[in-house]
Amino acid sequence: MKSKFALCIYILFAVLSFFFGVKMFQSRDTLRGILFMVAVICWGMCIYNNFAINKRSNQRLNVSVSQKNSHNKKK
């Protein structure tokens, strides 16, 4: 639950940062536009890390469950 909420926030901020960056480029404020695009990259890395953490935790759970099942079968 916690990671899904964080993921929603990351995606929302990434989209908003992108649109603010585009708006800054349109208003000829290049430096702020670049900074907002860097923010989009940072939010993208947060999204990527969130998926990677979820994948690793799911793999750990699957490995531990399969080890328990194989240990129970040996008994």
Q: Over the stretch 39-61, which tens digit does the pLDDT of each residue have? A: 999 999 988 888 887 778 778 77
How much of the chain, in percent, has pLDDT values that exceed 90? 47
Mean pLDDT of the chain: 84
Over residues 6-17, mean pLDDT: 91
Amino acid at 66: S
CA distances from 62 to 55, 56, 72 (A): 11, 10, 15
d(C-alpha 27, C-alpha 73), whole Å: 68
Amino acid at 73: K
Q: Does residue 1 carry a pLDDT above 50?
A: no
Res 50: pLDDT: 84
d(C-alpha 59, C-alpha 51), whole Å: 12
